[in-house]
Structure formats: structure tokens, C-alpha cells
Amino acid sequence: MAVTLNRITREGEYGPAMMPVIQGVGRAAIEIAYLLRSAVFRGALGAAGVENVQGEQQQKLDILSDEIFLDEMRSTGHVCAVGSEEQEELLVIDEYASADYLVLVDPLDGSSNLDVDGPVGTIFSVVKRKSPNDQRPDVSDTLQSGREVLAAGYVLYGPSTMLVCSVGAGVSGYTYNANNARFEVSHPDMSIPQSGGYYSVNEGNSSQWMHGIADKLVSVRHTQKLGMRYVGAMVADMHRTILKGGVFLYPADAKNTNGKLRLLYEAIPMGFLMEQAGGKAHTGEQPVLDVQPEALHQRVPVYLGAHASVDALIS
Ligand code: P6P
């Protein structure tokens, strides 16, 4: 009998409570995967002609994926609000404004890969509200460090559709089985190799990096015998790093002085997963999960990977 997402209900303290939310993520993933595969025939590729709060050109699929994700979070009945990369403000789900949980999401990470048929993903984390249930949730409910995260994960839309997640009791990967119309466990107990693998970074920015990162990287890739891979979608680069070892990094640079990646819906969920997979997640100044968020779309530098690789870059 195949093991499905229901396995999560037996994982750790928060598995049972997180199950409905993660099942909602699974439903959204199936809908988004279908949308991606049929987009070219529906005129859904390309830019939407508007900029998001990040100052980035929104792709039509960014907007459609965001709508799908919000609808599925609403249908769980357990989510009171969603903070999305694609929405400037926190989206309160009015019908469930008294529910316990908030979800932070990058609904379609790496969407610049879409026009070249490259891998993209969805990244999410779940926190429990701090405000009383009889109050309307607000953005302060989202400003919690990664140590408060109850669940986090990503969906990778590649040759297969994978959902990788953790409720604080290790990391497991589930692959969508179209024959049974469900996710089935394919990568139980994912753990990052502590040697070998790849370094993964946009070296096009290396002339603008600070803190001697370029020189450290030359040394690390030589002494630790790391190959180089960079997909340009955090989900794909992180997935390979957890499976094969090494380090993914997006340092601060002269253009992005606080780094490019967003703390609440990219760095924290990925940092949570990396620590749960036995790796290290750091900003160069502190562990990612110790950062106290101050704004919904705040950015941070990230160094995520095997301890030896991260330590060599941040020391
Ligand atoms: P660059 C995608 O836009 C993203 O947010 C991450 O998925 C990815 O790791 C990074 O930005 C890529 O940025 O500057 O290398 O294109």
C-alpha cells in the first residue's frame, strides 16, 4: 500500500494539525502543475504587464498560481490569512478570520524560467497566529522568526511534481502519482550529504559581492571538490542541494544590499527544511531561523547547505 501525505499526521507534535493545510498545498500543486503544462495552449505564458510589490514583472502564471493557492488555503477552513510574494498586503480570508494559522507563500518561484520551460516551484511556511482568534489577523501575525514555524515545504514542478515538506520531524519528499491522483512518498527522511555536491550561485553577480565571498568561494569549491550547478529557481537549486550536498547561496551585493531572497516566504521555509535535513541555514550574520522579521517582504542574504560548506563561506 503506497504511503501518501496522510503519513504527516503521524509526524511530530504538529503533524495532525498541519495535515489539512499541507493537503491544501497538495491540491494547489496539482492544479498549478496542470496549469503550467497547458499554459502555452491557453496563451497563459509571458508577462502580465504589471509589476508586483517586488518591482518585478509579474508573469500571467504568477497571478493565476497565486489565485489557485489562495483558493485552496481558503478551502482548508484552518487558514485565516495568507502573505504572498505576489500581494503587497496580507490577504485575510474573511470567512475564516478566526482560524488558527497563517500561510506565507511564494506561489510560483523562479517564474523567469517559464518562457524557457525550466523548473519552477511553490514555497510555503505555516505559523500559528499570535493575535486572539476573535480579532482580525494582521501583518504582525506573520512577523515571527523561523523558530516559530510549524510546517514548511516546497513543490517542485519539474519532470515530476514533488512536494517536499517538514512538520519539524525531518523532511520527506512525495511525488505526484497521476495514476492514483495523489502524492505518494518517494524520498522518505531526506538528509543532506555532509561532503561533495555542488555550489549553487549566480556568479554573474560576483564582482558586486561583499565580504570577500568571491575569494572564499574559489577556496571552498577547490578544497571541498564541489561542482557547480545553478538553475535560477530557488526550489530546484535547494532540492538538488539537499539531495546531492554542497551549498546554495544568494549573497548581498552592491545592487541587493540586503540580498535578493525574501525572508518570510523563501529564506525561512528553506532554512527550516535545510536544518531539518541536517544542514545549516545562515544569513552571514546569524542563523536564518533566528532573524526577527520586521516587514512582510523583507529580504536577506542566504547560505544554505552542508555545515562545512556554509561555515567556510560565512567565517
Ligand atoms: P537571479 C527567482 O526570481 C528567485 O526569487 C529565486 O527563485 C532564485 O534563486 C533567484 O531569484 C534567482 O535570482 O538574480 O540569479 O536571477
Tally of domains in the chain: 2
Ligand 1 closest atom vs CA 233: 7
- 122 SS3 class: strand
Give me the domain span that covers residue 270.
198-314
Give yes or no for residue 118 CB within 6 A of ligand 1: no
At residue 124 the predicted structure's pLDDT band, cuts being 50, 70 and 90, is very high
Clarify whether residues 270 and 174 are in a common domain.
Answer: no
- Domain shared by 82 and 177, yes or no: yes
CA dist list (Å): 223 to 219, 227, 278, 312: 6, 11, 21, 10
Q: Are 58 and 48 contacting, i.e. CB atoms less than 8 angstroms apart?
A: yes
**What's the rounded mean pLDDT across residues 57-71?**
93
- Pair (174, 230) in one structural domain: no
The pLDDT, as a whole number, for residue 56 is 79
Q: What is the mean pLDDT of the chain?
A: 96
Whether 246 and 136 share a structural domain: no
Q: Based on the fold, state whether residues 69 and 212 are members of the same structural domain.
A: no
Q: Closest Cα to atom 12, ligand 1: which residue?
A: 232
CB 190 within 8 A of CB 277: yes
Same domain, 257 and 296: yes
On whether both 248 and 136 belong to a single domain, the answer is: no
**Nine-digit cell string for 6:** 496522510
- Domain-located, residue 192: no
Q: What is the pTM of this model?
A: 0.97
Q: What is the pLDDT of residue 52?
A: 80
Question: Are the C-beta atoms of residues 110 and 120 closer than 8 Å to each other?
Answer: yes
Q: What is the band of 278 on the pLDDT scale with cuts at 50, 70, 90?
A: very high
The counts of H helices and E strands in the chain are: 6, 15
Ligand 1, atom nearest to 237 Cα: 9
CATH code, domain with 133: 3.30.540.10
Across 6-15, 202-211, 294-303, the highest mean pLDDT is recorded for: 294-303
Q: Note whether residue 28 is domain-resident.
A: yes
The whole-angstrom separation of Cα 265 and Cα 142 is 10
Asked if residue 112 has its Cβ within 6 Å of ligand 1, the reply is: yes
291: closest CA among 268, 258, 257, 315? 268
> What pLDDT is attached to residue 44?
85
Say how far apart CA 125 and CA 136 lie, in whole Å.
20
CA-to-CA distance for 173 and 166, rounded, in angstroms? 9
* pLDDT (tens digit per residue) in 172-197: 999 999 999 999 999 999 999 999 99
Tell me what pLDDT residue 135 has. Answer: 98
Give 195's Cβ-side CA count (13 Å radius). Answer: 4
Q: Ligand 1: which residue has its CA nearest to atom 14? A: 202
Q: Are residues 205 and 152 part of one domain? A: no
What is the CA(112)–ligand 1 centre distance, in A?
A: 8
pLDDT on residue 57: 81
- The reply to whether ligand 1 has any atom less than 6 angstroms from the CB of 236 is no
CA of 107 to the centre of ligand 1 (A): 14
Give kind and range of the element (H or E) at residue 47: strand 47-51
Q: Which of 54-58, 162-166, 239-243 shows the lowest mean pLDDT across its residues? A: 54-58
208 and 177 part of one domain:
no
The predicted-structure confidence for 203-246, as pLDDT tens digits, reads as follows 999 999 987 999 999 999 999 999 999 999 999 999 999 999 99
φ, ψ of residue 251 in degrees (nearest 5):
-70, 165
CA-to-CA distance for 67 and 27, rounded, in angstroms? 13
Compute the distance between CA of residue 304 and CA of residue 235 in angstroms, rounded to an integer.
12
Residues 181 and 36 both lie in one domain: yes
Give pLDDT tens digits for 299-314. Answer: 999 999 999 999 999 9
Query: DSSP 3-state assignment of 178?
Result: coil
263 and 286 in a common domain: yes
The neighbouring-strand residues paired with 174 are 163, 185
Looking at ligand 1, which residue's alpha carbon is closest to its atom 3? 110
State the pLDDT confidence band at 112, using cuts at 50, 70 and 90. Answer: confident
The reported pLDDT for the residue numbered 2 is 85
Does the beta carbon of 114 lie inside 6 Å of ligand 1? no
Ligand 1 nearest-atom number relative to CA 121? 7
Ligand 1 mutation target, pool 53, 59, 65, 109, most atoms within 8 A of CB: 109
Q: What is the per-residue DSSP string for 229-254?
A: ---S-HHHHHHHHHHH-EEEEE--BS
Is there a single domain that holds both residue 90 and residue 212?
no
Alpha carbon distance 104, 304 (integer Å): 19
- Reply yes or no on whether the pLDDT at 64 is more than 80: yes
Q: What is the pLDDT of residue 190?
A: 98
Confidence of residue 293 (pLDDT cuts 50, 70, 90): very high
CATH number at residue 247: 3.40.190.80
pLDDT of residue 173: 98
Longest dimension (CA), the chain: 57
* Ligand 1 site-directed mutation target among 250, 258, 297, most atoms within 8 Å of CB: 250
| Cα 233 to middle of ligand 1, angstroms | 6
The response to whether residue 109 sits with its C-beta less than 6 Å from ligand 1 reads yes
- Single residue among 130, 165, 187 that ends a domain in this structure: 187
Burial of 264 (0-12, 13-18, 19+ CB in 10 A): buried
Q: How confident is the model at residue 133 (pLDDT cuts 50, 70, 90)?
A: very high
